[in-house]
Amino acid sequence: MIERQIEVSNRLGLHARAAAKLVHLAGSFESKVELVLAGDVVDAKSILGILMLGAAQGTELTLRCAGTDEQAAFDAITHLFDDRFDEDS
């Protein structure tokens, strides 16, 4: 299992379209992918779970990946956050 802090850095935060991108990406891996915020653990493959977090810009989240392709999943999702969901220019 890999677990590390990541930051929501895009301007709009984890809004609906960003969440959809994340769910789609997480869904492409076999591993279990979870996000943790203030004790709330949500499945990153569930869109409503992510939207429930209401994570605005600047929020620190814990990303947790566990499974056969956990490293690939972790890298890809970290990359998506770092790239600000391809939103901010």
Partner 1 sequence: MSAELEYVAVTELLGEELSQLRMKALSGQHRLDNRITHPRVQKPGLAFAGYYPYIRSGRVQIIGESELAYLDTLDPEQRFERFDRITALDVPVFVITKGLAPDPEFLRLCREREVPLLSSQALSSVVIKSISYFLEDHLTPATRLHGVMIDIYGIGVLLIGDSGVGKSEVALDLITRGHSLVADDRVTVRRYPSGDLVGFSEGRLRHHMELRGLGIINVQDLFGLAAVRERKTLNLVIELEHWQKGRVYDRLGLDETLYEEILETPCPYIRMPVSLGRNVSILIEIAARNHVLKMQGHHSAREFARKLEEELERKRIAQ
| Active site members | 15
86 binds partner 1 (CB under 8 A): no
Residue type, 59: T
With contact defined as beta carbons under 8 Å apart, do 18 and 10 qualify? yes
As a whole number of angstroms, the distance between CA 48 and CA 82 comes to: 22
Report H helices in the chain.
Answer: 16-27, 47-53, 70-82
Q: Does 13 engage in binding with partner 1 (CB under 8 A)?
A: yes
Site string for partner 1, 44-83 (x = CB under 8 A): ---x---x--xxxxxx------------------------
Q: Which residues bind partner 1 (CB under 8 A)?
A: 9, 11-17, 20, 23-24, 28, 47, 51, 54-59
